[in-house]
Amino acid sequence: MYKLNTLAATVLATLATSLAAPAMAAADLKIALIAGKTGILETYAKETETGFMMGLEYLTGGKMEINGRKLKVIVKDDQSKPDLGRTLLAEAYGDDKADIAVGTTSSGSAIAMLPVALEYKKILIIEPAVADAITGDKWNRYIFRTARSSMQDALAAASTLKAGSVAFLAQDYAFGKDAVKAGKEALAATGSKAQVIHEEYAAQNTTDFTAPAQRIFDALKNKPEPRLLQIVWAGPNPMNKLADMKPERYGIILSPGGNILPVMKTWKNFAGTQGTIFYYHGFPKNKMNDWLVAEHSKRYKAPPDMFTAGGFAAASAVVTALTKANSGDTEKLITAMEGMEFDTPKGKMSFRKEDHQALQSMYHFKIKKDQKNEWDLLELVREIPASELPLPVRNKR
User: Is residue 135 situated within a structural domain?
Assistant: yes
pLDDT along the chain (397 residues), means of 10: 48 47 72 95 96 98 96 98 98 98 95 98 97 95 97 93 94 86 91 94 93 96 94 83 94 89 90 93 98 98 98 98 97 98 98 98 95 95 96 90
Distance (Å, whole) CA 74 – CA 31: 6
End-to-end CA distance of the chain: 73
Distance (Å, whole) CA 67 – CA 77: 29
In this structure, are residues 350 and 339 in contact, taking their beta carbons and an 8 Å threshold? yes
The CA angle 27-356-99, to the nearest 5 degrees, is 15
Domain that holds residue 273: 151-277+363-388
Residues 237 and 333 in one domain: no
- On the 0-12 / 13-18 / 19+ scale of CB atoms within 10 A, 226 is middle
pLDDT of residue 24: 58
pLDDT of residue 11: 44
Residues 134 and 181 in one domain: no
Residues 312 and 232 in one domain: no
pLDDT of residue 5: 53
User: Is residue 213 situated within a structural domain?
Assistant: yes
User: Is residue 395 situated within a structural domain?
Assistant: no
pLDDT of residue 134: 96
In this structure, are residues 320 and 340 in contact, taking their beta carbons and an 8 Å threshold? yes
Residues 178 and 273 in one domain: yes
pLDDT of residue 4: 43
User: Is residue 11 situated within a structural domain?
Assistant: no
Distance (Å, whole) CA 97 – CA 290: 35
Residues 171 and 199 in one domain: yes
From the CB of residue 11, how many other CB atoms can be counted at a distance below 10 Å? 10
Distance (Å, whole) CA 104 – CA 101: 10
User: Is residue 331 situated within a structural domain?
Assistant: yes
User: Is residue 13 situated within a structural domain?
Assistant: no
Residues 160 and 124 in one domain: no
DSSP labels, 339-359: T-EEEETTEEEEE-TTT-BEE
Residues 244 and 374 in one domain: yes
Residues 203 and 126 in one domain: no
Distance (Å, whole) CA 49 – CA 44: 9
Residues 110 and 161 in one domain: no
Which pTM value belongs to this model? 0.88
Distance (Å, whole) CA 23 – CA 131: 46
Phi-psi region of 357 (alpha: psi -120 to 50; beta: other; left: phi over 0): beta
- Which residue, 323, 324, 290, is CA-closest to 309? 290
DSSP alpha helix (H) spans, 286-387: 287-300, 306-325, 330-337
Residues 257 and 273 in one domain: yes
In this structure, are residues 143 and 177 in contact, taking their beta carbons and an 8 Å threshold? no
> What is the domain count for the chain?
2
**CATH code for the domain of 187:** 3.40.50.2300
> Do strands 65-66 and 69-77 pair parallel, antiparallel, or not at all (unpaired)?
antiparallel
Residues 241 and 317 in one domain: no
Residues 76 and 143 in one domain: yes
User: Is residue 9 situated within a structural domain?
Assistant: no
User: Is residue 368 situated within a structural domain?
Assistant: yes
- Which residue, 356, 364, 397, 384, is CA-closest to 149? 356
In this structure, are residues 128 and 48 in contact, taking their beta carbons and an 8 Å threshold? yes
In this structure, are residues 121 and 142 in contact, taking their beta carbons and an 8 Å threshold? yes
β-sheet with 69-77: strand ranges across: 65-66, 69-77, 29-35, 100-103, 123-126, 143-145
Residue 10: HSE in the Cβ half-sphere, 13 Å Cα cutoff: 6
Distance (Å, whole) CA 135 – CA 120: 18
In this structure, are residues 296 and 308 in contact, taking their beta carbons and an 8 Å threshold? yes
